[in-house]
Structure formats: C-alpha cells, structure tokens
C-alpha cells in the first residue's frame, strides 16, 4: 500500500497496524507486507503516537542515495504491519566495514530531532531489513515481538508522577470519553493489547487538578502538561508498593481501544514521599555501628560484611530494614575496619526485570582499592587522622567568590613523579613530600590564586 492520506488517516491506519501486530504473529503479518525491491534494504519504524509527519532517513556508507543532511534524505516509502518503512538503495561493496549501512531517523522540521539519537547500523551482507522502535537504540533484525514492543514503549517514560496524588502527561493525549489508568506490576510483566495494558493492577485516574507553584518551578517543562489525579481512596501503602515495580500510564479511548501508553518518571513522587535529611552511609556510635542507604524503590536490601578487602565471600549477610525509604543495619564496634557491599533486588526499567545488584555504598567515606568494596571507618578516631589534624584549618576566605578550585586525583598526582620516594608514589603520603615537583607546582598555583584542591581518591 503506498503511503498517502487517502481513505484513512495516517494515525488511524498506523494505530490499527500496531494493534494487529499485537494480536497476530509477526510471521503471518510478514507474508502480507510489501516485498522489498531488488538492490534495496528496508528500515521499518514504529512510533506509538502514530505521528510520522516530517520523519525521514539519513543514510551513509553502503547507501547509494544522494544523502545531504536535512536536504536530500530518504522519505517514508510506505506503511506495513509494523508502522512505516524506508527503502534504501544500497551497494554491499561500499562502507567501512564493507556492507555497513549507517542510518539516522530524524525530523528536521521539528528541530533536527534524532530518534532514538545514536547512529544506527545494519550489516547488509547479512540482513536486508531492520526494525526500529521509537526511543529504543536497538536495531532489530527480525520483527520485534509484542513483548519487545511493550518493553520498548513502556521504557520511554514520557509521563511524570509528580507527587503522591498527581501525575502529568502531554496534553494531546487527553481525549473526550477516554479513560486513564496507572498500571503497576511489582515483578514486571505489563503487556500491551488492543484494549489496554494487562499483566498487573490498574488504578483509575481522573483528569483535572493542577501542580503547585513549587512543582512547576522544579519542573518547568510540565507547564503545558495535563494533570491526572489518583483517587482519594488509594492509600499510601498502595502507592509505595507501586513504586517498587513496573509502572505505566494507559489511555483507552471511548471506543475501548488503546490510544496511548508510556512509562513513568517517578523522581517527583519519590522526593514527596521519601525526602530524608539525615545522615547516610556509615554512622559510628560509642558502642555500635549503623549503616544506612536511601533506596526507596528497592524490594529488598542485604548488607554483605567482609572481614578483609581481598575476601570474595562475605563473612555475614544481614537483611536490612526499611523505614521511609531508608534501609538500615546495625552492628557492634567489631565492624570497624571491615568492608561491606549492598545486595539489592530492584526493578530495572532498562532490563524490564527485577535485578539483583551488588554494589558499593554511594555514601562511602572509605573504599577498597579500585572501589571494589566500601570500608567501615571511624573518621573521628585518632587512628584515622594525620598528626595535628584537629588543630589545622583551611586558609580564610573573605567571600565565597574568592574560591578557585583545582581537582586532583591522588594516584595521578605522584605515581610518575621521580622526585617522590618510591614508597609514597600514588598515595596520600606524597602530599607530605614538600620538595617534590608536584608540591612545588601546587605552591606555584597557590601564589597565582588557587584557593582549594578537591582530592579524588
């Protein structure tokens, strides 16, 4: 079918194609798609909003098109069961490496927007067609499955959950007679169908309301967005549970057909529900040690304790307890000097799965070599302070504007400095070698106005 505006609108036709793709197998649909002409390669392109106005394909390498950015590009060739497609004339003997087709889907009329952004490539000696989903950098060499399409679309995250009662979406998706829902699934598995999102729990949303002046100041990009409200009957426990899994918004039209679906950015509601002004990381008390991490979206967090920096297996695994988004564990003073990691189970939109991640502490005050583990260190202990530390002070500044800052990596500062004793090179000790080339250079910088050095371990 040639690409034209006859008989049925682009958006209606493409929405229908999308729904068919979800209802039938890709194999059956491929049989009815237009054949690819000899000497050409086909790039399929899908947008969930069905708006293809202005989109074109810039190509290079194996392409024989006379491509000039935003002037002479490959226009949309036609429509098929996936969306639209671009047919590109090619020469497999061209390109570096040979047979590489480089391409960028872009919209110059809308301000030279690239979708998804990075350059994309197809090896045409192996494949004569590829599929691209809006905002997904993957170049599929077989037609994506409905689940792959759902994962890609719901990972785009075009909606915002601003606070515990309000969400915001682009105003063009507000339609007369439509219904709106917040879709949640603790362990993922949300799917798109012709009538909405399945695989989880739905919370109905209503249009109306407004964002506060403070919220609009923090999120000025939402000034033109429409606001959706959670029902007053939804309790905070339900909201907090939803934030620990997959979340999406769906818009179903008056006809009962799915019109729009997207993932959600949740930074606003997390700040609203879980703002925490207290101390995080290692907290040393007189007779105990506490370790805290802010991770409100984690489903569980364990603290892995290691007796030595080189240990590969923990000597203890402790389940951390959550309170208002902060996970805590407590131990005795014998923890001092040991090492630790966090093991978290958390929904990861990029993977469309609940992952178990092991990581060092983002609030580390002391770390192992190359940051492989965090260390439990008492910074107030005399054993951790250089001589005279409590009685030294920084040079005075008359105003903050007098501050000039130099960033310096401890290892890079002296590791190759032959004027530093070999045992001190690449360590803190090098800063005590006052006659080294590095220290003389810092003194020269201080004389011409340097006021502070930010040391990177």
Any domain includes 3: no
Residues in CB range of 113: below 8 A, 6 or more apart: 106, 107
Cα distance between residue 167 and residue 181, in whole Å: 11
Task: For residues 166 and 135, state if they share a domain.
Answer: no
CATH number (domain holding residue 73): 2.60.40.1110
Confidence at residue 148, expressed as pLDDT on a 0 to 100 scale: 87
The answer to whether the CB of 250 falls within 8 A of the CB of 48 is no
Any domain includes 2: no
Confidence at residue 149, expressed as pLDDT on a 0 to 100 scale: 87
Task: For residues 243 and 347, state if they share a domain.
Answer: no
Confidence at residue 397, expressed as pLDDT on a 0 to 100 scale: 79
Task: For residues 145 and 22, state if they share a domain.
Answer: yes
Positions of the chain with pLDDT lower than 50, given as ranges:
1-31
Q: Which of 384, 407, 432 finishes a domain? A: 384
Task: For residues 23 and 76, state if they share a domain.
Answer: yes
Task: For residues 249 and 372, state if they share a domain.
Answer: no
CATH number (domain holding residue 172): 2.60.40.1130
- The boundaries of the domain holding residue 303 are 278-384
E strands in 125-257: 129-133, 159-161, 166-169, 179-185, 191-193, 196-198, 201-207, 226-229, 246-252
Task: Provide the 10 A C-beta neighbour count for residue 227.
Answer: 21
Q: Which of 215, 237, 272 finishes a domain? A: 272
Task: For residues 244 and 201, state if they share a domain.
Answer: yes
Task: For residues 116 and 14, state if they share a domain.
Answer: yes
Task: For residues 16 and 133, state if they share a domain.
Answer: yes
Task: For residues 111 and 146, state if they share a domain.
Answer: yes
Q: How many domains does the chain have?
A: 4
Confidence at residue 159, expressed as pLDDT on a 0 to 100 scale: 96
Any domain includes 1: no
Task: For residues 319 and 419, state if they share a domain.
Answer: no
C-alpha neighbours within 13 Å on the C-beta side of residue 92: 10
Task: For residues 122 and 161, state if they share a domain.
Answer: no
Q: Which element (helix H / strand E) includes 345?
A: strand 339-348
Q: Which of 333, 261, 340, 280 is nearest to 306 (CA)?
A: 340
């Amino acid at each position: 079918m040639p690409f034209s505006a006859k008989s049925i609108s682009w958006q209606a036709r493409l929405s229908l194609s999308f729904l068919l793709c979800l209802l039938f197998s890709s194999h059956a649909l491929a049989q009815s798609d237009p054949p690819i002409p000899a000497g050409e390669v086909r790039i399929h392109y899908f947008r969930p909003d069905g708006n293809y106005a202005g989109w074109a394909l810039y190509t290079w390498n194996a392409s024989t098109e006379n491509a000039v950015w935003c002037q002479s590009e490959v226009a949309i060739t036609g429509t098929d069961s996936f969306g639209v497609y671009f047919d590109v004339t090619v020469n497999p003997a061209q390109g570096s490496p040979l047979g590489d087709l480089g391409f960028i889907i872009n919209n110059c009329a809308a301000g030279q927007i690239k979708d998804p952004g990075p350059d994309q490539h197809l090896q045409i000696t192996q494949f004569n067609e590829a599929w691209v989903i809006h905002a997904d950098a993957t170049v599929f060499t077989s037609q994506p499955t409905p689940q792959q399409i759902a994962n890609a679309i719901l990972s785009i995250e075009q909606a915002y959950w601003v606070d515990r009662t309000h969400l915001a979406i682009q105003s063009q998706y507000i339609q007369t007679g439509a219904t709106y829902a917040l879709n949640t699934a603790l362990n993922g598995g949300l799917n798109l169908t012709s009538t909405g999102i399945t695989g989880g729990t739905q919370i109905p949303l209503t249009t109306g309301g407004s964002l506060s002046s403070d919220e609009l100041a923090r999120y000025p990009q939402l000034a033109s967005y429409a606001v959706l409200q959670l029902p007053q009957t939804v309790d905070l426990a339900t909201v907090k549970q939803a934030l620990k899994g997959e979340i999406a918004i769906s818009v179903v039209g008056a006809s009962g057909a799915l019109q729009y679906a997207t993932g959600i950015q949740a930074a606003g509601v997390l700040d609203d529900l879980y703002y925490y002004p207290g101390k995080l990381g290692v907290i040393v008390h007189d007779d105990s040690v506490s370790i805290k991490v802010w991770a409100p979206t984690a489903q569980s967090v364990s603290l892995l304790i290691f007796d030595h920096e080189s240990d590969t297996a923990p000597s203890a695994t402790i389940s951390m307890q959550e309170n208002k988004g902060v996970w805590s564990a407590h131990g005795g003073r014998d923890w001092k000097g040991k090492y630790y990691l966090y093991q978290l189970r958390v929904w990861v939109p990029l993977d469309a799965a609940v992952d178990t991640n092991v990581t060092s502490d983002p609030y580390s005050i002391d770390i192992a070599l190359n940051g492989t583990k965090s260390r439990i260190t008492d910074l107030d202990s005399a054993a951790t302070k250089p001589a005279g530390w409590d009685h030294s002070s920084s040079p005075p500044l008359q105003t903050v504007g007098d501050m000039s800052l130099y960033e310096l990596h401890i290892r890079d500062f002296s590791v190759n400095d032959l004027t530093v004793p070999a045992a001190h090179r690449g360590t803190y000790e090098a800063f005590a070698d006052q006659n080294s080339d590095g220290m003389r250079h810092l003194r020269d910088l201080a004389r011409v106005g340097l006021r502070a050095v930010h040391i990177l371990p």
